[in-house]
Amino acid sequence: MPRSARPGTTRVAVAITAVVAAALGLLGLNTFAGTALAGDRTIRTTLPANLPSDDVAKGLIYTGLQRRPAGPCGPGLLEVTGTSPVMCTHGPDAAPAGLSVKAGVPALAAAAPAAQSLAVCEGDGTSGRRVEVLYIHGSTSRYTQYLETFRTLAEGVDTIFNESAKETGGERHVRYVTETVSGACRPVVRDVQIADAALNANDWAPLLNAVKAAGYTRTDRKYLQFVDANVYCGIGGLAGDTRKSDANRSNSGPEYARADNGCWSAGVAAHELGHTLGAVNNNAPNASGYGHCTDEWDVMCYKDGDNVVVRTVCTNRSHDDRLDCNHDDYYSTNPPAGSYLSQYYNVADNLFLIKGSNPQPDSNLARSAVASASYTSAWESVAAINDGIDPSSSNDTVHPRWGTWPNSGQQWAELTWPAAVSVRRAQVYLFDDNQGIDLPSSWRLQYWTGSAYADVPGASGYPVTANAYITVTFTQVSTARLRVVLQSNGTNSVGLLEVKAYAS
């Protein structure tokens, strides 16, 4: 669930609460078990056959939604009834901490000329696939009052997408419909008036149909709707298509993401737009099964069902304003070969995003360092940790590795450079031979300050994962030594297969 109360940095929270799920069980309502296939990954879901009752105060409106396992949305998504063609969604989301569905967000002050702008714009601002921002209201319009707010929030969404891309060495920007304002490139905000009855309906379909009737139906558009109503917090379309192809349904429109005035924030808007761009498919490694992920902190992750277990993997709280903790579920500009995102749909490949220069990750600084360790078994080699050989698994028996058997407790391996280098990202591959060497109970990165070792600042988290590189980003440090500190699990020993370090 979202933790921040700051407008512009919050995101949406649980759609189907544990309380509702428990109530369904107590009432004896039927459930169905569904199985959906996505490539060679099988998704199994057990979802309530009947949807929860509307909770108007929280914006959890299920009126107008239906679960039809045999329909185009399958067992893992809901259909918006009363619209054509069929639209799929993960369902409504409750307001994050600090926001309320029934209390609107105040308008931002108008920016000085050219003080705000998008970092990257493309072409004539209208051609091709674009995200188009809509202000939707009834008989009362606050367009002039909130225009600067909508522009700024849309730019905040772009920041979330690009800063997240930087974590994997790339660049991504939202390809908005844009215009020049006081010499700056900014998102266009359309002023869309619809009937009050459609605006305030406890059902998304009347508003969608009214917006479509106003002409917002282009197949090369995702429509980001800032709705001047107090019905939902947020809700967005989600195709649920896992194909790694430009033909993926997430690469086409029209598709709609909605945030009502109690949840006008960049985090909520990024979350709902993220759904329309393909996050999070239910066959992802850390999928919740309800269109979200379970490894916090993350814009798209939270506990969205009674049977969902959430883990804090990226421990830096600021990553609650970024996409895809560890970049293994839905968003990576450089997914490792053989990983989930190298085989299945990756939002970073969405055609509604500007890829920019998409620089490849910089060179591995570890290759120029000398490795040392607290202890090394006689038949192992600490030099293995930076030999540049990518392991095939955590129990790679072909290539050299570093191990500490029979020693247990805290152990470390270190990279030392002849002069200080700037480092802000590292990749670590843990060794586990299924015998005396086991995965650590915990681990962390430290750097030499010049007089002592200190934990790297702002670390994104230290998951204990086998058979894959673990990527940790942190605030850039200048150091001549980088150390991996591992705490053994009980009496077992620990080890590493490879450590990489990068300047960006």
User: Taking a C-beta distance cutoff of 8 angstroms, is the pair 36, 27 a contact?
Assistant: no
Better-predicted residue by pLDDT, 397 or 411: 411
Lowest mean pLDDT among 19-23, 388-392, 437-441: 19-23
pLDDT in tens, 375-384: 999 999 999 9
For residue 280, say if its preceding peptide bond is cis, omega within 30 degrees of 0: yes
- In percent, the amount of the chain with pLDDT more than 90 equals 66
DSSP code per residue over 183-238:
TEEEE-EEEEE--HHHHT-SSHHHHHHHHHHTT---TTEEEEEEE-SSS-SEEEB-
Determine the pLDDT at residue 399: 92
User: Taking a C-beta distance cutoff of 8 angstroms, is the pair 52, 59 a contact?
Assistant: no
Pick the CATH number of 365-502 from 2.60.120.260, 3.30.1330.20, 2.40.50.140, 3.30.720.210: 2.60.120.260
Task: Locate the domains of the chain by residue range.
Answer: 18-354, 365-502
Is residue 3 predicted with pLDDT exceeding 70?
A: no
Determine the pLDDT at residue 429: 97
Averaged confidence pLDDT in the chain:
86
Determine the pLDDT at residue 49: 60
Structure tokens at 80: 């918006």
Per DSSP, which regions of 261-325 are E strands?
A: 295-296, 311-312
Distance between CA atoms of 137 and 229, rounded to whole angstroms? 7
Backbone angles phi, psi at 445, to 5 degrees: -110, 140
Kindly indicate the confidence band of residue 17, based on its pLDDT and cuts at 50, 70 and 90. Answer: very low
Determine the pLDDT at residue 122: 87
Determine the pLDDT at residue 357: 52
Determine the pLDDT at residue 24: 29
Is residue 411 predicted with pLDDT exceeding 90?
A: yes
Q: Is 164 helix (H, G, I), strand (E, B) or coil?
A: helix
DSSP code per residue over 380-392:
S-GGGGGS-PPPS
Kindly indicate the confidence band of residue 111, based on its pLDDT and cuts at 50, 70 and 90. Answer: low
Distance between CA atoms of 213 and 206, rounded to whole angstroms? 10
CA distances (Å), origin 224, targets 130, 221, 305: 10, 9, 26
Distance between CA atoms of 58 and 8, rounded to whole angstroms? 19
CB neighbour class for 360 (10 Å; exposed up to 12, middle 13-18, buried from 19): exposed
Determine the pLDDT at residue 450: 86
Q: Is 58 helix (H, G, I), strand (E, B) or coil?
A: helix
Lowest mean pLDDT among 17-26, 63-72, 239-248: 17-26
Q: What is the CA radius of gyration of the chain?
A: 24
Nearest to 252 by CA among 282, 218, 294: 218
Per DSSP, which regions of 326-448 are E strands?
A: 353-354, 370-373, 402-403, 410-430, 442-448
Lowest mean pLDDT among 211-225, 267-281, 411-425: 411-425
Q: What mean pLDDT do residues 40-61 have?
A: 68
In terms of DSSP bridges, do strands 178-181 and 353-354 run parallel, antiparallel, or are they unpaired?
unpaired
Q: What mean pLDDT do residues 251-277 have?
A: 97
User: Taking a C-beta distance cutoff of 8 angstroms, is the pair 487, 410 a contact?
Assistant: yes
Backbone angles phi, psi at 418, to 5 degrees: -65, -20
Kindly indicate the confidence band of residue 110, based on its pLDDT and cuts at 50, 70 and 90. Answer: low
Determine the pLDDT at residue 419: 74
pLDDT in tens, 201-240: 999 999 999 999 999 999 999 999 999 999 999 999 999 9
DSSP code at position 319: G
pLDDT in tens, 457-477: 999 999 999 999 999 999 988
Is residue 336 predicted with pLDDT exceeding 90?
A: no
The pTM score is 0.67
Kindly indicate the confidence band of residue 19, based on its pLDDT and cuts at 50, 70 and 90. Answer: very low
Nearest to 415 by CA among 490, 497, 501: 501
Nearest to 334 by CA among 131, 121, 502: 502
Better-predicted residue by pLDDT, 194 or 7: 194
Q: Which residues contact 211 (CB under 8 A, 6 or more apart)?
A: 134, 136, 192, 194, 223, 225, 256
Is residue 360 predicted with pLDDT exceeding 60?
A: no
266-276 vs 143-166: helix axis angle to the nearest 10?
70
Kindly indicate the confidence band of residue 31, based on its pLDDT and cuts at 50, 70 and 90. Answer: very low
Q: What mean pLDDT do residues 317-341 have?
A: 91
User: Taking a C-beta distance cutoff of 8 angstroms, is the pair 431, 494 a contact?
Assistant: yes
